[in-house]
Structures are given as structure tokens and as C-alpha cells.
Amino acid sequence: MAAGASEGVYCPVCGTRNRVGSGFCLKDGSPLPALDPARVVPVFTRDPATYSPEEIQEAVHRASRAVVRVRVKTTSTLKYPVVFQPEKELISIGQLESVEGASRLIGSGFTVGQGEIVTNAHVATPFGVPAQVTVDAQDGRSLPARLRGVDLASDLALLQVDTASLPQLEWGSSDRLQLGDETWAIGDPLDLGLSVTRGTISTKARMRTGLNQVEAFVHSDAFITHGNSGGPLVDVLGRVVGVSDMGFIEDRGQGYSIPSDMARLVVDRLRSAGKYERGFLGLHVRQVDTDNVKKYGLKRTTGVVVESVLKGAPAEAAGFRPGDVLFGINGRQAISSYLLQEAVSSVGPKASIVIILDRAGQVIELKLTTALRPVEPRIDPLLDLQSYMMVRFEEDPKHHGVVIRVPDSYSPAPRFGFNDGDIVDSMLAAQDWPDEPITFEYYKKKAHSASVSSLSELRSALGRMYMGGRVGVAFQIKRSLHPIAAVAYDEIWPIIL
């Protein structure tokens, strides 16, 4: 809006505004060129970055009218494993905690179509259980919402309310974001009412945290906190460039949003089919890094490395091996884990797909038919636990048991009470945990623990460690002091194609 374009001429050196017709700048005396109407570019799109604070305010205000509060009432009681540590002791005691039925949860969401509201899956169906959802619009209406579709893998959900009169948001492009771009996260943090927090785009580097099965976060310095989940991240024009998903609480200004390009894809599927039937190969992969370059002697350093192949999955039959480097799909190059995941997902189940990979320096194409991606595809639970704890379980023939090796000083294992050389006697997985603390007394008298004398026994018993979106397992260790130690954490998803 070229404020004052007709009223003044600005000094080309110092920017001071002068009266039209002045020959020299009032402030620094520089000669002022005459304004030439011919120099105004006729077809011109103004750069959004030149918008004034008032214009931005207007756009953000307009966008915020399409943001809703999502109130959720769970109907069933959910239990999940937790551990607590007695004061100053390096041991941990596990137990189950529960969220009672009819507990209230609050999140945010935004309207994209007629009565269609996008939010996070963890808001719409907390812990994956059905819930009663109510949407509070900005005009004060409370509307019952039904779940149109949910995609747990990307943590997105689409709700439907029976009204056409809610203001709608437009999708923007997260791919076109630049470092330093200003964005605004709108939501209902801490249930305090609508609030807007500014975020500067800090990295487009597609951060992975392992909280969602399929993810590629946009990182901004917005202060995203409880209740922001599901709210939009909008750009200067008020277009959605992301869906707020999570933030570190203590870490100032670390907000993670699902990029709009990814969200839009998922929402379109949810709209048309009510679910996103993703294709599935059963490959557990990892980005190439120095560790696996050494481990597998890789030649290619772009792409993803197969870490393991899931049992009974199409990839097993097709002959994938750990150490294969995947870098293309159906004749196209795809080296980011997200693009590979999305490519496999988008073809759907029972589709044929060609994977291009590098095996010991040789480029191979493998053709296979996809299966339907399970809701929660899981790798070998032993690998899962080992990678979180940064430990190795080894069979110890001398003691007829399994020994824990802690090779890494970064390992969190010692803080849970596990030390290098501990010999596991038996274990209790989360699905068998009680509501009371798992003390030695309890463990000895009441628990139905599984004895562990070999890795295969451990592996099969660990299958029961997943519960309520978390992982929990208590071990009995052969030692006199504190023989019970437990670990519990939120499930961290490895990259599974």
C-alpha cells in the first residue's frame, strides 16, 4: 500500500520523507530525484514481507477467527506405565497410572472447508481412544463435532461440525518458507483463550523427533505449549503453513509444526476416504550417518539405510537386507526419509512399487507389492528398547541369563538403575504392571513375571511392553541391593516404510 506514495518523496540516502517538489533532502541535503510515473512497474505483486505491522495484524486477526478450541472428553479409562524415583536413589519404581473416563482435554484446531476442522490426532482421539469432541468457535458457539477421519501416523485428524458459517483458512506452502520468515502460531494454550505467538522460521531442515510415525517438522521459535496442539501456524498473509504439534517446554522458543504441504495431503485423504490407507513395505530405516557407514561399509551416503526388516512384511519376501541404501522409488529419486515414507504411503495397499537401492555398491531395483500399513507397525521390541536405553542385551552363557551392556556414557540407563554388567533374572512388561508401585515385595509375591534366560525369551516377553502410547518394562536384576529397576517412556517411532 505504498503509504504516502502520492504525498511525499523520500530521500534515497537517509529515507527521510520530504515534500513533493523539494530539490534536496531536509535532513542530509542529498539531491532528491523527481518522481517519474513511468517508473512504476505496471503489473506488480507486492512482497508480503513489506507489510506493515497493521496489515499483518489484520491478516493474523482474520486468520484467528477460523481457529477453534477443541474440547475433548474421553469415555474410557486409559492406563499407561510410569516410573518414579525415590529421592536421591538411582533406582526406579514402576506402576500404572490412569486417566479416568470423562476427563477433559483441550486442544486447538482450524477450519479449512465447510465445517471441516483440522486438528492433531492426539487431540481428537487422545491416546487413540474414541472421545466426545466439542468445538468452540470464535463467535461463541459450541458445536458437537464428529470425527471425519484420523491418521495416527502423521498425528492429524479431520473433524466435522454441522455448520457452514465458520470462517475458513487458506492453505499456504510450507516448502516456500524461508529462514527468518515471520509466522504466527494461533491456538488456545493452557485453555486461557485464543492467543497468538510469533515464530521466526529457524530451520526448514525437516526435524525428526520420533513422536510421530511419519514426520518432517518445521521448526520455529514460537512458544508452543499445552493446548496449542492442532492450531495453525500462519504466514504474513494468514495462510496455513503448519499445524502446531509440539514444543519443548523448558527450551525457550522451540516449536515444532507439521508442514502444511504434508498436512494438506493427509487432510485431502481424510476428507475423501475418512482414513489414509497407507502403503507398507515393512522396512525399518535410518538416515545415513557415520555410525552405519562404518557398520555396513556404505559407499553411498545419501538416502536411508535399512536397519531391519519387519517379520512377515512384503519387504521380507522381496529380499531386502540390512545395509541396503534406499534412494529412489518408481524411477524417481527420494533420499529424505519423509519423501520415501510418503511415496510408499501414497500408493496405498496392494499396489506394486519399485524401490531403487544400493547394495554394496551395486544399484538394484526391487519390485514388490505393498501391504496395508498397520496402525502401529513395530520393529523388534528388543531393538526398540536397546535404542532408547542406549544399551545392548547379551546372552551370558556362564550365568544362563541375559546381561546388560552400557557402552555409551550418554546412555540414560544408569539413571533408571541399570548398570553395565547387570544380569537380568526376570521381567514384567507394562501390560502386566499393577496400579500399585512395583516394589520387591510385590514383584516376589503377586507379579506374574516372565523369567528371562535367553534373548529370544526376552524378545517375546518384551512384546507386551507397549501400553497407552508408552513403553514400560521392569526387570529383576541379580543383585542384593535394589533388585528391581523399571523404565518407562513415551513411544519413539523409528522410521518405518
User: 105 or 267: whose CB is closer to other proteins?
Assistant: 105
Closest CA relative to residue 279, chosen from 374, 386, 392: 374
Kindly tell me which of 35 and 339 has the beta carbon lying closer to other proteins: 35
Is position 386 an interface residue for other proteins (rule: CB under 8 A)? Answer: no
* Listed ranges 44-52, 269-277, 351-359, 397-405: which one lies at the site for other proteins (CB under 8 A): 44-52
In the bound state with other proteins, the residue whose beta carbon lies nearer, of 328 and 468, is 468
Tell me how far apart the alpha carbons of residues 128 and 35 are, in angstroms, rounded to a whole number.
64
d(Cα 169, Cα 259) in Å, to the nearest integer?
A: 15
| Of the residues 210, 323, 349, 374, which one makes contact with other proteins according to CB under 8 A | 210
Instruction: Candidates 12, 101, 144, 463: give the one binding other proteins (CB under 8 A).
Output: 12
* Cell matching residue 463: 512384546
Q: Would strands 195-207 and 217-220 be described as parallel, antiparallel, or unpaired?
A: antiparallel
Q: Pick from 237, 293, 335, 339 the residue near other proteins by CB under 8 A.
A: 293
Cβ-count burial 209-236 (b if 16+ within 10 Å, e if not): eebbbbbbbbbbbbbbbbbbbbbbbbbb
Sequence-ordered list of residues with C-beta below 8 angstroms from that of 216, at least 6 positions apart, any chain: 206, 207, 208, 259, 262, 336, 338
136 binds other proteins (CB under 8 A): no
**Whole-number Å distance between alpha carbons of 117 and 66:** 9
Which member of 162, 291, 365, 441 binds other proteins (CB under 8 A)? Answer: 291
CB 70 within 8 A of CB 109: yes
For residues 208 and 373, which CB has a smaller minimum distance to other proteins in the complex? 208
Query: Is-contact 135 161, C-beta < 8 A?
Result: yes
> Least distance (Å) from other proteins to the CB of residue 106?
8
Residue identified by cell 516377553 is 461
- 160: Cβ contacts below 8 Å, ≥ 6 apart: 115, 116, 117, 145, 146, 147, 148
Length of the chain: 497
Q: How far is the CB of 95 from other proteins (least distance, A)?
A: 9
442, amino acid identity = Y
Nearest residue to 187 via CA among 48, 56, 63: 63
> How far is it, in rounded angstroms, from Cα 398 to Cα 230?
53
Catalytic residues: 122, 155, 229
* Binding residues among 428-457 for other proteins as defined by CB under 8 A: none
Near other proteins by CB under 8 A: residue from 65, 208, 239, 269: 208
Site for other proteins in 311-370 (CB under 8 A): none
Span interacting with other proteins, options 222-230, 333-341, 371-379, 453-461, rule CB under 8 A: 222-230
Listed ranges 31-39, 261-269, 340-348, 428-436: which one lies at the site for other proteins (CB under 8 A) = 31-39
Angstrom distance (rounded) from CA 275 to CA 148: 8
Site membership for other proteins, residue 464 (CB under 8 A): no
Q: Does 31 bind other proteins (CB under 8 A)?
A: no
Q: Rounded to an integer, what distance in angstroms lies between the CA atom of residue 154 and that of residue 169?
A: 20
- Using CB under 8 A, which of 89, 289, 394, 441 touches other proteins? 289
Q: Which of residues 45-104 bind other proteins (CB under 8 A)?
A: 46-47, 49-50, 80, 82, 84-85, 97, 99, 103
Minimum distance, C-beta of residue 84 to other proteins, in the bound complex (Å):
3
| 27 binding other proteins? (CB under 8 A) | no
Is 387 near other proteins (CB under 8 A)?
yes
We find the least distance from the C-beta atom of residue 201 to other proteins, in angstroms, to be 8
Query: Of 22 and 456, which has the nearer Cβ to other proteins?
Result: 22
| Exposure string for 296-323, b = 16+ CB within 10 A, e = fewer | bebebeebbbbbbbbeebbbeebebeeb
Our finding on whether 226 is near other proteins (CB under 8 A) is yes
Name the one residue in this structure whose C-alpha cell is 496405498.
Answer: 348
Integer angstrom CA distances of residue 19 from 35, 278, 433, 462: 11, 64, 80, 79
Residue of 140, 180, 331, 397 interacting with other proteins (CB under 8 A): 180
Please state the separation of Cα 29 from the chain's center in Å: 57
- Applying the rule CB under 8 A, the residues between 233 and 252 that interact with other proteins are 245-252
d(CA 321, CA 307): 8
Q: Does 211 bind other proteins (CB under 8 A)?
A: yes
List the grid coordinates of 459. Answer: 524378545
**Residue 242 or 279: which CB sits closer to other proteins?**
242
Q: Is 390 in the site for other proteins (CB under 8 A)?
A: yes
Q: Is 391 helix (H, G, I), strand (E, B) or coil?
A: coil
Judged by CB under 8 A, the residue of 200, 272, 352, 439 near other proteins is 200
From 350-358, 374-382, 452-460, 486-494, give the range in contact with other proteins by CB under 8 A.
486-494
Using CA atoms, how far apart are residues 48 and 239, in angstroms rounded to an integer?
A: 12
Contact window for other proteins (CB under 8 A) among 206-214, 272-280, 338-346, 397-405: 206-214
Among 62, 198, 271, 482, binds other proteins (CB under 8 A): 198
Q: Is 227 in the site for other proteins (CB under 8 A)?
A: yes
39 binds other proteins (CB under 8 A): yes
Q: How far is the CB of 319 from other proteins (least distance, A)?
A: 27
